[in-house]
Amino acid sequence: MKRRSVLLAALAATAASGGTAMAARNPSASDKRVVVYYQTQYTNGTYVSPLALTERNTGVTDVLVAAVHLNDLNGPYAPVHLNDDPPHSAKYDRMWRDLKTLRGKGVHVLAMVGGAAPGSFTRLDNEFDTYYPLLRDFIRQYDLDGVDLDVEEEMSLAGIERVIGALRADFGADFLITLAPVGSALKGGGNLSGFDYDDLYRSRGADIAWFNAQFYNGWGRMNSTADYDAIIARGLIPASKVVAGTLTSPANGGSGYVGMTTLKSTLRALAAKHRAFGGVAGWEYFNSAPGGTAAPWKWAAEVSSVLKR
């Protein structure tokens, strides 16, 4: 479960193969995804730049800037927030410049929408015509490569299908649409999203680039391949579309952190078992072990050393 931003927490209160629309984005056997969630842009008043991810040649493929929220239009806050502030706030100017630089180096930059602070997807579900244009215009303004839909509240299947369909229609075949379910939701178990992911994949699999499945906080583990294997064994969602999400530091909330030695062993085994293994996603960047806040880029470099062979 993603960390709830302080201000917004207070507010809240098509084929089984996935089709061919996103084929150009799927990694080869030697080019797995290394996904980094980037939510903490400031720590103790100091800006956290993501530029080291390319300057250090870490092998990162995707950076997901988090977390975007759609607020009540009748409330006291701006309709679109990135964490505690509107995305156009001056505090984010350097971040947007840095993310543009990453894109110039071939890294995809996506926006994570939703997470632990509820409301965004309820609004998209119940008042689509009012709130979807806010999301669409935000994506256009910052020229993003895609969105990560992290639905951690009740939403209807029809509602999430409508959002995905509108994104595909508005942004075309190369736009990356990912989702971030808890790991168990992809094997018919516990779920935070309301809708059934099997049903969603059957109806919209061709439009979903991949899932950043959360294998932590009791929804799965990365101390072995067992939970990931169970998803693939069902035969519905291919390994190319399941990216294994893990905590990058024991300080990042919840439970289920796996140290780097164990994580690399699990990733190595997954890559050997599943030729099209989708890769790994880390929550989150700023304090990633083993480098910590001084060198958070080392996490991506370490996992890439296993996956990019």
Cα–Cα distance, 231 to 281 (Å, whole number): 17
> What is the structure's pLDDT at 14?
35
Could you give phi then psi for residue 159, rounded to 5 degrees? Answer: -65, -45
What average pLDDT does this structure show over 144-152? 98
pLDDT at 28 over 50: no
What average pLDDT does this structure show over 149-157? 98
What average pLDDT does this structure show over 150-163? 98
> What is the structure's pLDDT at 31?
67
Alpha helices in the chain (DSSP H): 6-12, 52-55, 93-104, 120-126, 128-141, 157-171, 197-204, 226-233, 260-273, 298-307
pLDDT at 283 over 80: yes
CATH topology for the 29-307 domain: TIM Barrel (3.20.20)
> What is the structure's pLDDT at 79?
97
| Tokens standing for residue 56 | 């250090």
> What is the structure's pLDDT at 30?
44
Report the b/e string of 235-273 with b at 16+ CB within 10 A: ebbbbbbbbbbbbbbeebbbebbbeeeebbbbbebbbee
pLDDT band at 62 (very low <50, low <70, confident <90, very high): very high
Where are the chain's structural domains?
Answer: 29-307
What average pLDDT does this structure show over 171-185? 98
List the end-to-end C-alpha distance of the chain, in Å, as a whole number: 31
Distances (CA, A) of 241 to 9, 16, 205, 235, 238: 31, 11, 9, 12, 6
The string of pLDDT tens digits covering residues 64-117 is 999 999 999 999 999 999 999 999 999 999 999 999 999 999 999 999 999 999
pLDDT band at 140 (very low <50, low <70, confident <90, very high): very high
Average pLDDT, the chain: 91
What average pLDDT does this structure show over 240-258? 95
Percent of the chain with pLDDT over 90: 89
pLDDT band at 253 (very low <50, low <70, confident <90, very high): confident
Percent of the chain with pLDDT over 70: 90
DSSP 292: G
Residues 107, 62: contact at Cβ < 8 Å?
Answer: yes
What average pLDDT does this structure show over 228-250? 98
What average pLDDT does this structure show over 242-258? 94
What average pLDDT does this structure show over 280-299? 98
pLDDT at 60 over 60: yes
pLDDT at 179 over 70: yes
pLDDT at 245 over 80: yes
DSSP 235: S
Cα–Cα distance, 178 to 146 (Å, whole number): 8
